Chain A
Amino acid sequence: MSNNKKRLTAVVVGLGMAGTLAACGSSDGGQGSGDSKTVTLVSHDSWAASKDVIAAFEKQSGYKVNVLKDGDAGQAVNKAILTKDNPQGDVFFGVDNTLLSRALDNGLFQSYEAKGSGRIKAAYRVDQDKHRVTPIDTGDICVNYDKKYFADHKLQPPRSFDDLVKPQYNNLLVTENASASSPGLGFLLGTAAAYGDGGWEGYWKKLKANGVKVVDGWEQAYNEEFSGSAGGKKAKGDRPLVVSYASSPPAEVVYADPKPSTAPTGVAEDTCFRQVEYAGLLGNAKNTKGGKALLDFLISKRFQEDMPLNMFVYPVTEGAQVPPEFVKYGPQAKDPETMDPAKIADHRDQWVKSWTSLVLK
C-alpha cells in the first residue's frame, strides 16, 4: 500500500518535472535567431519609447522590433563589447560620450551614415570620417537643489562648482560613485573640465572636507538621500543638493499628481556637464539591413520628439520640438562643461582611480 503510494508520488513528481521542462522548451520561440524580419535593439535599462511610435516604424519598415535591455548604461556597453564577435542584436543604443572611446577602441560598431544625419546639430557630431556612431540624444548632468530647503533656511542655492565648497553648503551635497554611475562620472568630468588636469584633485579635497556624501548609484542618491524629490521626501532624505540631470525638475512635475505650478527643484546652472548618447550598427550584426533602417528611424523627427518624455533627454536634430514641460521647467544649460571624447578616453580610467583613492578610501 505504502509502496504504491510512494511510486505514485514519484511518478507524479517525475511527470511534473518533465512537464515543466517541456513547457520551458516549447515557449522558446525563434527569437534572436537572426531571421531577417526581426531587428534587435540592444540598450540599457533606461530605454523607453511610446508604443505607437515603435508600431509606426514596424508598419512602415516591415521589421519587428525586439528590445534587449541589458543592465545599466555601463554594464550594457561592457556586455556588448564582450559579446561583439557574436552580438546579441543588430543595433546598440546608449553609449555616451564618457564611454564612447571604449566602444570604438574595442571595435564594437561598423560604419553606417544614417539617412537624415545632415539634420544632426554640428555640436553633437563625432567620428565624422568613419561614421561608426550616430548621436541620438543629449542631456546635462547638473547639481539639483531642493527649493524648499533653501527658502526655509533663507540661503541662496549654489550656482557653481566654486559655491559647492563654501562653508554654508557644508554637508548638503550627495553625489554618486564615479566608477559605478554615469552621472557620478559626468560630475567628475565636469570638475576636471572646469579645474583642469592639475586642479580637480585639489577641488575634490575641498569638496570632501566640506562633507560631500558619496553613494553608489543615482537611484539611491536621488530617491533616498535627496530631500527635494518625491521619492526622497518619502524616504526622509536629508541632503538638499544632489548630482542629477537638468531634466530632473520637469520629471518631478510630470510624474506628480496633482501637477504643481512650479518645479519643487532647481538646477545649479554652472555645475553642468554635457552628455550625448550614441547608437551604432553592431560589428557582426545578423540583420544589417534592418539595423540600418532602425538607425535611420532613431534620428527621425517622430522618434526624436517622442524621446523627451520617455527618457527625459533632449533631441539632437534641428527642427525637433521639445515638449512644453521641458521648456518651462528644465531648459538646457546655457554653457555646460564639455570635454573632447579623445581626452576623456586618455584620462578617464586614471581619473576614476585617483578619485576613488581620494574620496572613498
Chain B
Amino acid sequence: MDLTRTEVAARRRGAAARFGLLAVPVAFFAVFFAYPVAAIVARGLKSDGAWHLGRIGEVLAQSDVRHVLWFTTWQAVVSTALTLLVALPGAYVFARFDFPGKQVLRAVVTVPFVLPTVVVGTAFLALVGRGGLLDELWGVRLDTTVWAILLAHVFFNYAVVVRTVGGLWAQLDPRQEEAARMLGASPLKAWRQITLPALAPAVAAAALMVFLFTFTSFGVVQILGGPTFSTLEVEIYRQTSEIFDLSTAAVLTLVQFVAVGAILALHAWTVRRRETALRLVDASLTARRPRGAGEWALLGGVLVTVAVLLVLPLAVLVQRSLGAPGFGYYRALTREDGGVFLVPPIEAIGNSLSYAVAATLIAVVIGALAAVALTRRDAGRFVRGFDALLMLPLGVSAVTVGFGFLISLDEPPLDLRSSWILVPLAQALVGVPFVVRTMLPVLRAVDVRLREAASVLGASPWRVWREVDLPMVRRALLIAAGFAFAVSLGEFGATVFIARPDRPTLPVAVARLLGRPGDLNYGQAMALSTILMVVCAVALLVLERLRTDRTGEF
C-alpha cells in the first residue's frame, strides 16, 4: 500500500515538474508564434466575421499553385540527398580524425550556414553567373538553372549534417565497433549493426533539418532562380508582399504548415522507434590521426570538397569586398551618408551582436526547458507532440511571422512593435528548434539508470539533473547556444520586416546596400558581409575553445 502511494505521489510530482518546465516554452510559442501567425492567416481568410474556407479549394485548384508545390518538393528531396552525400564523409572525418587546423576548419564549415541568403546568392552569382569564375574559365553558366539552387543548398546545409551527425558520432564509443570486429564481424557489418543504428536518429534529425530548410528556401531561390522558379515560401512572400493577395498567401501558409507538420510527425515517429540509450564517451578519446592510404585519401577528399564548395564562394566574396584601393569599401562603412540608412552602416555590427546575444539567451532558456521536459521517459503523447510543434517555426514562412508580429503585437499589454525586443524574439523562434534538436538526442541517450540510481540515493530532481545530465549535455548546450547565436545573427526573413530603420542588423544592411545602384553600395555590401562572416567565425572559434577546455572534466 505504502509503496503504491509513494509511486503515485512521485508520478504526480513528475507531472507537476513537467508541467512547470513546459509552461514557459508553451506560453512563449503561443504568444510569439501561434498568435501572430493565426492573426495573419485570419486576415487573409476571414472577412466580416466569417471564415472563407472555400478559398482553400479554389487556390489549390490553380495549376500555378500545384506547379509551385511540385517544384518545392522535388528540389528539397534532391537538395537533401546531395547534402547527405557530400557531408556525411565530412561528419565522419570531423568526428574520428585528428588533424592540424581541425578547430578552425570546423568553424569555417559552419560559417556558410549563418550567412544571410542575399550574400550567398550574390557570392554564387559571382561564381556561376555571367562573368563569374566558371564562365571565365570554361564558359559555363549555371544561374537561372536549378543547379545553382541545389549547389547553394548544399553550401548552406553542409554544417547541419557535420554538426548534428558529427557531434554524436564523436561521442560514440569506437570500442563497441572494435569489439564486434574482434568477434568476427566484417568492417561493413560492424558499422551497419553497431554504428549505424546508434547514428540513425542523428542522421534522421539532420536530414529532416536540411529538408525543412530547403523546402522553405527563400533568398537562395529568389536570387539564383530568377522569376521562373518559385518555392512555397517565395510564393507566400510574393502573394503577401507584392501581389497583396492575402487569402492566397494564407492558403499557401496553411499548406506549408500541413506539409511541415506531416514531415515532423513522421520524423518524431521514426526517431522514437530507434531511440536507444547510447554509451557516450568524451569526444577527445575517439579521435585519432588518420592511418593508411585510404583514411588519408578520405581526409583529402573532404578537404578538397570543403575548399571548392564552401571556401571558394566565400573567397570570391572577400575578393570583391577588397575591390576598392586602400580598403575603400570598408572605410565607406563608417560614413553617415544619410542615403541608405540614418546611421553609418558599421553600427549594424553592434546591433546584430546585441540582438543575437539576447536571442541566444531566450532560445537557450526556452529550448533547454523544453528539451529537459521532453526527455522524461514518462512523457505522454501530448508532450511528445509538443516536440514536433517546437520545430514548426522553422517551417513557417518568415514573412508570415514578420507580418504577423506587425499586426498582432501592437496593442497593450503586448505593444512591442516599436520595442527592441521584437527582433530577438523573432530570431529566438528559429533558434529554439536548434537548441531542442541538438540537446534532445544527447539528453535521451543519457542512461536512465544513472538518473534512477541518483534518485534512489536520495538526490532531488534538480540535483539529479545537475549532477547527471548537465555534465553530459554541457557540450551539447554549448553547441546549441552557438547555433542559436549564429542563426540569430544571420536571420533575415522576419528581421527585415521588424527591424527599425535606425537599428538595422547586418543582413538587413547588406540587403539594403545590395538593393541600391552603384559600385560603392555593392562594395560596401560585400565588405559588410565579409565582416559578418568574420564575426561568425570568431564566435564559433571561441565556442570551440570553450568546448575543449571543459571536455576533459568528465
Contacts and interface: CB of A to CB of B under 8 A. Distances in A.
A3 B328 CA distance: 47
A238 B130 CA distance: 10
A31 B418 contact: yes
B467 interface: no
A179 B67 CA distance: 17
Contacts of B339: 48
A49 B420 CA distance: 27
B350 to A, nearest CB: 8
B517 A219 contact: yes
Given A24-B354, A31-B418, A234-B519, A74 B501 contact: no
B64 A357 contact: yes
Nearest to A74: B242
B517 A223 contact: yes
A219 B518 CA distance: 10
B517 to A, nearest CB: 5
A51 B354 CA distance: 30
Given A24-B420, A236-B130, A349 B243 contact: yes
A36 interface: no
A79 B244 contact: no
B226 A235 contact: no
The residue in B43, B131, B339, B553 that gathers the most chain A C-beta atoms within 10 A of its C-beta is: B131
B238 interface: yes
Contact of A82 (B131, B354, B407): B407
A246 interface: no
Contacts of A67: 342, 501
B323 to A, nearest CB: 10
Contacts of B361: 17, 21
A301 B519 CA distance: 33
Nearest to B356: A20
B245 interface: yes
Contacts of B522: 231
A343 interface: no
Interface string A233-248: 0111110000000000
A360 B43 contact: no
Nearest to A184: B227
Contacts of A9: 546
Contacts of B403: 79, 82
A323 B298 CA distance: 66
Contacts of B227: 177, 180, 214-216, 360
Contact of A361 (B64, B406, B421, B496): B64
Contact of B553 (A2, A74, A78, A180): A2
A121 B190 CA distance: 85
B515 interface: yes
B357 interface: yes
A172 interface: no
The residue in B226, B403, B421, B522 that gathers the most chain A C-beta atoms within 10 A of its C-beta is: B226
Interface in B337-368: 338-339, 342, 353-355, 357-358, 361
A20 B358 contact: yes
B342 A75 contact: no
Nearest to A49: B338
Contact of B242 (A68, A88, A180): A180
A74 B241 contact: yes
A111 B339 CA distance: 31
A45 interface: yes
A45 B504 CA distance: 13
B419 interface: yes
B22 to A, nearest CB: 24
Contacts of A16: 357
Contacts of A2: 553
B6 interface: no
Contacts of B238: 179-180
Contacts of A81: 244
Nearest to A356: B64
Contacts of B357: 16-17, 20-21
B406 A75 contact: no
A219 B521 CA distance: 12
B517 A24 contact: no
B240 interface: yes
A28 B222 contact: no
B363 to A, nearest CB: 13
Given A23-B354, A69-B501, A86-B411, A361 B418 contact: no
A217 B244 CA distance: 17
A222 B243 CA distance: 22
Interface in B404-441: 406-407, 410-411, 417-421
Interface string A83-118: 101101000000000000010000000000000000
Nearest to A235: B131
A54 to B, nearest CB: 10
A162 B501 CA distance: 44
Given A45-B516, A82-B407, 17 more contacts: A17-B357, A20-B354, A21-B358, A24-B354, A24-B355, A28-B419, A32-B418, A79-B406, A83-B407, A88-B417, A179-B238, A179-B243, A217-B515, A231-B522, A236-B130, A352-B243, A361-B228
Interface of A: 2, 6, 9, 16-17, 20-21, 23-25, 27-28, 31-33, 45, 48, 51, 67-72, 74-75, 77-79, 81-83, 85-86, 88, 102, 177, 179-180, 214-217, 219, 222-224, 230-231, 234-238, 255, 349, 352, 356-357, 360-361
14 contacts: A6-B550, A20-B358, A31-B502, A68-B501, A74-B241, A79-B497, A81-B244, A82-B403, A82-B407, A86-B417, A180-B238, A230-B519, A234-B519, A360-B228
Closest 4 CB pairs of A and B: A236-B131, A177-B227, A32-B418, A20-B354
